A and B are shown apart, each in its own frame.
Chain A
Amino acid sequence: MDLNEDMEFRNIINLLRQLQQVKAPSNFEADLMRRINSEKFSLQNTFWQTIFIPSRMIPAAALAVTVVLLVIVLNNTAVTRENPFSIIPKERQDVTLTLKADNTVPVKQIKTDKIEPVEKNKVELKSAPSVETFGLQKDEALRSESAQTTEGYEKTAGAPAEVNLPEKKLTKPFLPPTQLTENESANVTFASGKISVYPVNKAGLNFRQVNPSSQQKIEINQLKEKLEQMYKSKLK
């Protein structure tokens, strides 16, 4: 095959072979040796020898230290914010009393979230969660230094917890103050004395967080003073 190809191109091969040889000039060696002698050939250092020299080590070390410092600083200042949409809302740990809508049987919700229906006429509110204060009773509860806030209700753990419902106590299921009608009232006994709890309609409660203006604050303070005076006059 090679021979055939060579035969095919034999003319061109002959032409190329007949070409005059281009020669180097007579002073080629002299020029070459001059160039070689003019260049300084230092001994080639190994890779590690070229790496571990101060001119390279110092910047590299500085860079490494900077990176380490940056990592430390950034790690300490980093704020890990939780996505609010991925937070599971906390279960209510307190005891709440709710009424079943159908037969108005109070339901006791315990910490385990287990809902147990409470039998009629067996409600005995002698434990702390049963004492609930509103409005006027708030200050009293605070004075007892054992008040615990639970979403609108205030639970007095240390206070003598005895709620004397009206005559309907045994015949009618317990109604929290919010569920009392306007004509009903609950008597709460504190260390300082026995007071009546007036019903407060749930509808009247405002759970919203309001930022009152200065004018509104003045009005609120005036109302507070009035209420305090009323409270004091009641105590007397």
Chain B
Amino acid sequence: MTDKNLYELTDEELILEFQQNNTVKAYEILVERYKNPLTNYIFRFLGDYEACLDVVQETFIKVYRYKDSYSSIAKFSTWIYTIAGNLARTEYQRRRRRKFFSINAYGEEKDEIFEIPDESYRPDQLTDSGIKDEIIQKAIRKVSPAYREMVILRDIQGLSYEEISEISGIRVGTVKSRINRGRAQLQKLLEDIYKE
């Protein structure tokens, strides 16, 4: 199969090609298609660009290593988002624990909520829209993780409720309620911005 033909294939066909014929080009095309959506999703969840890149790379490595565990019944996007989501949650927990212990070691800020530091934004590089983005990103990070993930997948990534339900492994009704609770929290946090 030529490279041109490979580009015309769907995600499911590409992973099948990679599974059966070990066509690395098919895998590379999948990476090309999903690297940006996954980076966006993981970054909005973690808030750290470097950590986000690590998680995305780890996701693609898992896809490469465990390609045979993919079943053609499920959508490829659902499968890869599930892997990425699990890795992101693990990374979030790990960073949170590390942050907790490092703060407690100094005996400071015990009562505060420990948030992941966002080092990707630099004031000198920010435009007006960039400042707005930063405020929104900070607000997203303040939403509790269970709601945050749902809101990102729905309102930023544009996935359907059913897809989110499959990715997170919870019922559609629960997904909807979590999304709405997340939105409500965000609304409170971003009152000043969306009134403008």
Interface size class of A (residues with CB under 8 A): 20 to 34
A216: Cβ under 8 A from any B Cβ: no
> Which B7-47 residues sit within 8 Å CB-CB of chain A?
28, 31-32, 35-36, 38-40, 43-44
Q: A29 touching B151 by the CB < 8 A rule?
A: no
* Chain B interface mostly: helix
Q: Which residues of A contact B155 (CB under 8 A)?
A: 12-13, 16-17
Task: Contacts A9-B180, A12-B183, A16-B155 given; indicate if A32 touches B61 (C-beta within 8 A).
Answer: yes
Q: Which residues of A contact B133 (CB under 8 A)?
A: 19-20
CA distance A24 to B184 in the complex (A): 30
B53: Cβ under 8 A from any A Cβ: yes
A120 to chain B, nearest CB (A): 100
How many residues of chain B are within 8 Å of chain A by beta carbon? 38
Which residue on A lies nearest to B68, using beta carbons? A44
Q: Which residues of A contact B61 (CB under 8 A)?
A: 32, 35-36, 39
Choice from A11, A24, A33 contacting B39 with Cβ under 8 Å: A24
Proximity string of chain B (167-196) to chain A, C-beta cutoff 8 Å, 1 when within and 0 when not = 000000000100010011011001001100
B136: Cβ under 8 A from any A Cβ: yes
Task: Contacts A24-B56, A28-B53 given; indicate if A15 touches B190 (C-beta within 8 A).
Answer: yes
Q: Which residues of A contact B31 (CB under 8 A)?
A: 28-29, 32
Q: Which of B52, B65, B194 has the most CB of A within 10 A?
A: B194
Choice from B44, B56, B65, B184 contacting A9 with Cβ under 8 Å: B184
B174 to chain A, nearest CB (A): 14
Q: Which residues of A contact B176 (CB under 8 A)?
A: 2, 5
CA distance A24 to B186 in the complex (A): 26
Choice from A9, A22, A25 contacting B183 with Cβ under 8 Å: A9
> Which A1-59 residues sit within 8 Å CB-CB of chain B?
2, 5, 9, 11-17, 19-25, 28-29, 31-33, 35-36, 39, 41
> Which B35-75 residues sit within 8 Å CB-CB of chain A?
35-36, 38-40, 43-44, 49, 52-53, 56-57, 60-61, 64-65
Q: Which residues of B contact A41 (CB under 8 A)?
A: 64-65
Q: Which residues of B contact A25 (CB under 8 A)?
A: 53
Q: A13 touching B53 by the CB < 8 A rule?
A: no
Q: B187 touching A16 by the CB < 8 A rule?
A: no
Task: Contacts A2-B176, A22-B40, A22-B44 given; indicate if A12 touches B57 (C-beta within 8 A).
Answer: no
Q: A32 touching B187 by the CB < 8 A rule?
A: no
B156: Cβ under 8 A from any A Cβ: yes
Q: B186 touching A12 by the CB < 8 A rule?
A: yes
> Which A133-170 residues sit within 8 Å CB-CB of chain B?
none
B125: Cβ under 8 A from any A Cβ: no
B43 to chain A, nearest CB (A): 4
Which residue on A lies nearest to B42, using beta carbons? A22
CA distance A15 to B183 in the complex (A): 11
> Which B85-142 residues sit within 8 Å CB-CB of chain A?
129-130, 133, 136-137
Q: B35 touching A24 by the CB < 8 A rule?
A: yes
A121 to chain B, nearest CB (A): 104
Q: Which residues of A contact B156 (CB under 8 A)?
A: 16-17, 19
Q: Which residues of B contact A39 (CB under 8 A)?
A: 61
CA distance A13 to B32 in the complex (A): 27
Q: Which residues of B contact A2 (CB under 8 A)?
A: 161, 176
Q: B194 touching A15 by the CB < 8 A rule?
A: yes
Q: Which of B53, B180, B183, B190 has the most CB of A within 10 A?
A: B183
Given pairs A9-B184, A20-B129, A29-B28, 9 additional interface contacts (CB within 8 A):
A12-B183, A12-B190, A17-B158, A19-B156, A24-B39, A32-B57, A32-B60, A39-B61, A41-B64
